[in-house]
């Protein structure tokens, strides 16, 4: 797989030249992120009109890629850049307030003229010399617009941060549309990621912040899931995932542990043990086994009694929710078994709740967020709304809510999955196939 490293006339083709070469036999796809040219032999990607980015032989392109391009892109057959456009009239465009590079309220991906054409969130904004601005959905681009794009537009900077086209959404393995196991915990982490150091004390916030990303909560949730699926060693696998996916917000003690070869626990009672335990609650069919495995996942690092208890309480709540227990039954069992005080409301604690990374200071709050919720999305919003260690609290809440409500909107799934490595999606799909017994029984 080739990584783009700069314009090279010997190695990289120009889109306009390739269009001329194939004008009687090409299909041009235009998205917010890139151009893609099917020349009947290869599918060639360009992140702007001049720079070749990557190519794949047609016979190596999976059906889901074609489906994605069909759904997302403006499509032009046998496009000839030298032919006079058939649609010069400005149609389907709507007026939009003017904006400029120094005040990038819409986006910061500007053309080589500074403020001529902008691509942002499935739309193009055409800025005229007179200061006006016209908005056009990507799917509604005309051949006249494409001629302008080929001449002026620089596409979004996204490919600068993608090492391979395989990381693009259309090349990823799609998540199961009815997935509702560990994806709930991952969703909580990703959506909560932007609020960990920027707490918010309300449920009224943008669920789909473009800055959202997966953190250590997701990395280690996937690590534990991988262990359960393939019966791997917990300490070694968690250590390997942590070293492979560096810089994801690990705690100081855990970072130090990743530097060691002798993998001994360090007596932690931090909520890192609870955030990674969701797969245990989904995988096993009796509570004794859930408690046993939750302890094993925790004690490789968090061998303090409170660290183990946090993991066990999280996995147990998920197990009970998956078994169809009522919220009151879940509340009573967690209270009596783990001696957690759940006799408070989020409204009571929200004004004064502060950052607390201990299990005893965040797991009960995460469970109450689930208990007060009305659906999955509301559970995530409630968990984030109290502040504190937002991504981890939402991760714990998300796992329980996923097990209880058994429904997550496609919009949320698509947003979060788009942030994940393909490896994670494949592991989650494999886990769902093996352990989501209710779904398999009803299939």
Residues found in the chain: 443
143 is in an annotated binding site: no
Continuous H helices in 13-94: 15-21, 63-72
202 is in an annotated binding site: no
137 in helix, strand or coil? strand
215 is in an annotated binding site: yes
Continuous H helices in 158-233: 183-192, 216-230
Q: Which two tokens stand for residue 108?
A: 């910061």
Q: Give 440's strand partners.
A: none
**Are the CB atoms for 117 and 124 separated by under 8 Å?**
yes
Q: What is the DSSP letter of 342?
A: -
389 is in an annotated binding site: yes
356 in helix, strand or coil? coil
Which string of b and e fits 375-406 if b means at least 16 CB within 10 Å? ebbbbbbbbbbbbbbbbbbbbbbbbbbbbbbb
414 is in an annotated binding site: no
Closest CA to 290 of 278, 279, 298, 281: 281
Q: What is the DSSP letter of 377?
A: H
Closest CA to 187 of 425, 429, 395: 395
How many CA atoms does the CB half-sphere of 144 hold within 13 Å? 12
Strands 74-77, 94-95: pairing is unpaired
Q: Output phi, psi for 45, to 5 deg.
A: -105, 140
392 is in an annotated binding site: yes
- Binding site for Mg(2+), by residue number, is 215-217, 389, 391-392
- Binding site, by residue number, is 215-217, 389, 391-392
């Amino acid at each position: 797989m080739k990584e783009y490293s700069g314009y090279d006339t010997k190695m990289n083709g120009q889109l306009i030249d390739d269009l001329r070469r194939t004008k009687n036999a090409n299909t041009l796809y235009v998205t917010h992120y890139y151009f893609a040219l099917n020349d009947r032999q290869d599918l060639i990607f360009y992140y702007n009109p001049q720079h070749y980015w990557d190519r794949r032989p047609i016979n190596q392109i999976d059906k889901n890629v074609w489906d994605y391009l069909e759904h997302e892109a403006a499509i032009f057959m046998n496009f000839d850049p030298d032919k006079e456009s058939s649609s010069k009239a400005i149609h389907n465009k709507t007026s939009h307030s003017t904006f400029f590079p120094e005040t990038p309220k819409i986006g910061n991906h500007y053309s080589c003229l500074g403020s001529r054409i902008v691509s942002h969130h499935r739309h193009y904004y055409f800025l005229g010399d007179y200061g006006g601005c016209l908005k056009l959905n990507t799917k509604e681009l005309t051949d006249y617009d494409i001629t302008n794009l080929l001449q002026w537009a620089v596409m979004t900077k996204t490919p600068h941060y993608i090492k391979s086209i395989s990381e693009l959404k259309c090349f990823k393995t799609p998540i199961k549309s009815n997935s509702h196991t560990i994806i709930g915990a991952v969703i909580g982490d990703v959506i909560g990621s932007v609020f960990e150091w920027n707490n918010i004390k309300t449920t009224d916030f943008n669920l789909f912040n473009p800055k959202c990303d997966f953190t250590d909560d997701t990395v280690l949730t996937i690590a534990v899931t991988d262990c359960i699926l393939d019966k791997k060693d917990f300490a070694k696998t968690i250590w390997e995932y942590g070293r492979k996916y560096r810089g994801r917000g690990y705690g100081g003690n855990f970072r130090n542990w990743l530097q060691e070869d002798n993998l001994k626990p360090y007596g932690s009672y931090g909520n890192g043990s609870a955030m990674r335990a969701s797969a245990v609650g989904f995988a096993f069919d009796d509570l004794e086994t859930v408690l046993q495995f939750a302890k094993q996942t925790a004690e490789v690092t968090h061998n303090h009694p409170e660290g183990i208890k946090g993991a066990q309480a999280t996995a147990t709540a998920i197990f009970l929710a998956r078994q169809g227990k009522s919220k009151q039954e879940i509340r009573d069992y967690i209270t009596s078994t783990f001696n957690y005080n759940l006799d408070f409301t989020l409204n009571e604690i929200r004004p004064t709740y502060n950052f607390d990374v201990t299990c005893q200071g965040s797991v009960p709050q995460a469970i109450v967020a689930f208990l007060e919720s009305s659906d999955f999305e509301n559970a995530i919003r409630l968990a984030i709304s109290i502040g504190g260690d937002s991504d981890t609290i939402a991760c714990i809440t998300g796992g329980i809510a996923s097990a209880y409500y058994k429904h997550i909107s496609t919009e949320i799934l698509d947003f979060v999955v788009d942030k994940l490595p393909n490896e994670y999606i494949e592991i989650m799909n494999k886990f769902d196939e093996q352990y989501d017994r209710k779904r398999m029984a009803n299939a």
